[in-house]
Structure 1
Amino acid sequence: MADSFAVDVTRISREAHRTMAAEPGTAPRLDEERAISVLNDVVATEVVGWLRYTRDALAAGGGGEQAVRAAALLNAHAEQGMRHAVAVAERIAALGGRPNFDPDTLAQRAHTDYSVPADSALTATLARNLRAERIVVATYRDIAEWFGERDTESRALMESLAADVQRNAAALEALLGARGE
């Protein structure tokens, strides 16, 4: 799993950098069109995460105490993902752009996927979500760095989102550890 995680982070980071197309801090002025495109990919990532977490929470519920705890955690992450999507959409609007919630392109623009795993065991579900959170943290940190001083408000937003996602990853790790897996 570690090798595929490294490959995914590399691929996703490469795609994010392709979209950004400039090294951090090199442009003296923010390219609003490019920034809006990058932020719309973040909206897609958060909406896809909300969908994945919501589905996984419903699938996890109804079991024993650990399944109930997992479902509650997954629901909390889903709700946070939707709040993140709205916050980023508001930033896009503040930059003069139009938030893109187009369901036809969400999956292609997201930094993580919405796959239904063959193994629907709770441990596999939690591990898959942990992997997605790690990818998102790495990508959001790259995006924050890319904004740099050109757009400190967007940079602060991305740093805040990355911190939230890092806490989500820690909560998933703790839950996985409590399961003894």
Structure 2
Amino acid sequence: MDQAVKPGETGAHKFSIDLDAVRANAREHLDDGAVTEDYGADRKAVLDMLNEALATELTCVLRYKRHYFMARGIHADPVAAEFAEHATQEQEHADQLAQRIVQLGGEPDFSPQGMIAHSHSQYVEADTLENMIKENLVAERIAIESYRAMVRYLGDKDPTTRRLLESILAVEEEHADDMSDLLARG
């Protein structure tokens, strides 16, 4: 049981857990996998949100891959290399999201219809190197806002998913900075 801090003491409450109850609950709910009784978020809402993020990442992979292969012009090689690197990182994000969806007892939606219906960003082919960079910057800015909203929604209800989304957000911010730098070099 928790012990209260006595007047004049600066220590915190003593950590306490009912291990018998935790052990019994763990045995009783084996089918729930990693999701325990104290999971604080609406699991269905989180799974829907993660599938939207997955669709967004897959859209970004495809857009970056197209831009990598279609980059032309005197400055195309370093820009195409940046597109290829970003495509790889976006695929890693998609894999991480799919893994978390499965951990939460859901099914990752890799269907083309799901991607089209749920992606926050758009698949824009673009016709010039500059327009490709701009479209990727737009998509990164959309991803940044989306991930920030997801992080705020989760708060402390699902810290594992929140940390995953925060790590992806940090990379998306780097991607936006990279695209902005490429535009500035114009």
TM-score where L is the length of structure 2: 0.77
Which residue pairs with 1:9 in the alignment?
none
Paired residues for 1:128-139 under 5 Å: 128-139=135-146
For the residues of structure 2 that align with 1:130 and 1:113, how far apart are their CA atoms? 12
1:177 to 153, 169, 184: 184
Q: Find the aligned partners of 2:163 and 2:40 in 1 and give their Cα distance.
A: 17
Q: CA RMSD in A?
A: 1.2
Q: 2:50 aligned with 1:43, yes or no?
A: no
Gaps spanning 5+ residues in structure 1: where?
1-27
**TM-score (ref. length: structure 1):** 0.79
Q: Which residue of 2 aligns with 1:84?
A: 93
Bigger CA drift: 100-109 or 132-141? 100-109
2:41 to 25, 30, 54: 30
Q: Radius of gyration: which is bigger? A: 2
Residue of structure 2 in register with 1:108 after alignment: 117
Q: Distance in 2 between matches of 1:166 and 1:89?
A: 21
Identity over aligned residues, as a percent? 34
Aligned-partner Cα distance in 1 for 2:62–2:160: 27
Counterparts of residues 1-181 of structure 1 (less than 5 Å): 29-61=40-72, 63-64=73-74, 66-117=75-126, 120-179=127-186
- Post-superposition CA distance 1:51-70 (Å, at most 9, x none): 00000110005x32x21011
Residue type of the alignment partner of 2:95: V
Q: Distance in 1 between matches of 2:50 and 2:114?
A: 14
Q: Which runs of 4+ in 1 moved over 2 A?
A: none
What CA deviation, in whole Å up to 9, does each residue of 1:63-113 have, x standing for no partner? 32x210110000111011100000011011111111111112211100101
Query: Hey, what's the Cα distance between the residues in 1 that align with 2:162 and 2:174?
Result: 18
Higher relative CO (Cα under 8 Å, sequence separation at least 6) belongs to: 1
**What are the superposed Cα offsets for residues 106-155 of structure 1, whole Å, 9 maximum, x if unpaired?**
111001011233xx111111011101101110110110111110000101
